[in-house]
Amino acid sequence: MGFFSWNCNECKHPMLSVYAVNSINSWMNNVVIIRPGHDPVHGSYDGYGRVDCYEIDFNDGCCCYHEACWTKAGEPTEWVESDYADDQGFFFDDHEHNMKYPIAI
């Protein structure tokens, strides 16, 4: 299967593939996946459904946040299905997802 992604439940921008980020939006590749009854998965999204060693089943849907958005939202653990990203976290205009890091460092 090719690229696919879902939108962050906080900022509504997609988990970006590691192959699509730039110096401004690279933080949008670090994500948190919420799984009912399990600890959240933290890591880098590859664009093909994998967050580090965890593989998301495309057919089951996904509950995701960018790591920074998850922290900003108070680290929620309730599973709320994320919307599918029409641009698949890869096929977008160069500046479309150029958002600054949403929390103070």
**Structural domain tally of the chain?**
1
For residue 104, is pLDDT > 70? no
Residue 9: partners with Cβ closer than 8 Å, 6 or more residues away = 63, 64, 65, 69, 73, 76, 80, 82
In DSSP notation, 25-94 reads TGGGGEEEE--TTSPPEEEEB-SSSEETTEE--GGG---EEEHHHHHHTT---S--PPPB-TTTTTSS-T
**pLDDT in the model for residue 105:** 54
Between residues 58 and 8, the one the model is more confident about: 8
User: What's residue 1's pLDDT?
Assistant: 59
Residue 58: inside a domain: yes
Q: Phi/psi of residue 91, each to 5°?
A: -95, 80
Identity (one letter) of the amino acid at 48? Y
Q: pLDDT tens for residues 42-98?
A: 999 999 999 998 999 878 889 999 999 999 999 999 999 999 998 877 778 877 888
Q: Is the pLDDT of residue 34 over 70?
A: yes
Range of the domain at 67: 1-95
Q: Does a structural domain hold residue 59?
A: yes
